[in-house]
Amino acid sequence: MLTAKNSKKQEVIDFDNVNESGLKDVVKHFKTNKLEVIDLAATNRKTKRNGLMSKKAVFVFMGGQTCEMRINETGDIYQVLINSKVTPVREHSKLKDLVKEIAKKVTSQQEKFDKSILKKIEKATRMNAKQDKAGQPVTAKAKLSQVNERLTKAKANITKLTEEKQQIITNNEKIQTDTDALIASYKSDQNTIKQLQDTLASRKAA
């Protein structure tokens, strides 16, 4: 995170790095507030809004809800959308406090969001029943069974994606650790060679 160049010393997003790397602290803050980010759409691509350049980042949470942050050239988050709806948030000097407020709003809407998804699935089930060539009516019990089956599959897919993403993160961390060790070893060898060269040079001078 960066700090805005003004008297408020407000934390802002690095506008040059609106991507997974540049937003890792935001993801970390969401996790601190018990919101697991399972996907992040942030391509670092500029778009023009009202004559001003901006970028956006969309966070997808375990429960299926989304949060879109719109960021201007100064790195300020000037607009927040939860589940594609503009959501007013207070101004915060610290990014973690802003994320905390957003997390509370997302968490409070989870039950309503789940019911909305359930209604959509039920509606889709009714539509499929009407198109059933056999013309056999679908009972309420059968509908509920279909809905539960779809929800179970959706949750299983989310869990699988989360595990795969965590494995990728773990592998990247191991690669970074191994790389750091190699660099440290290389620097140590360089120091040893320099010491030997200095020793030989002093002996020749003597």
pLDDT digits (tens, 9 = 90+) for 108-136: 999 999 998 888 888 877 777 666 555 55
What pTM does this model have? 0.59
Report the range of poorest mean pLDDT among 25-29, 138-142, 186-190.
138-142
Identify the pLDDT of residue 173. 75
Strands (DSSP E) along the chain, which ranges?
Answer: 2-3, 11-12, 37-41, 47-49, 52-61, 66-72, 77-82, 85-86
Query: CB–CB of 36/61 below 8 Å?
Result: yes
Identify the pLDDT of residue 85. 95
Residue 137 CA to residue 115 CA, distance in Å, equals 24
> Please, what is the Cα angle at 90 between 85 and 92, to 5 degrees?
125
For 154-184, what is the HEC assignment?
Answer: HHHHHHHHHHHHHHHHHHHHHHHHHHHHHHH
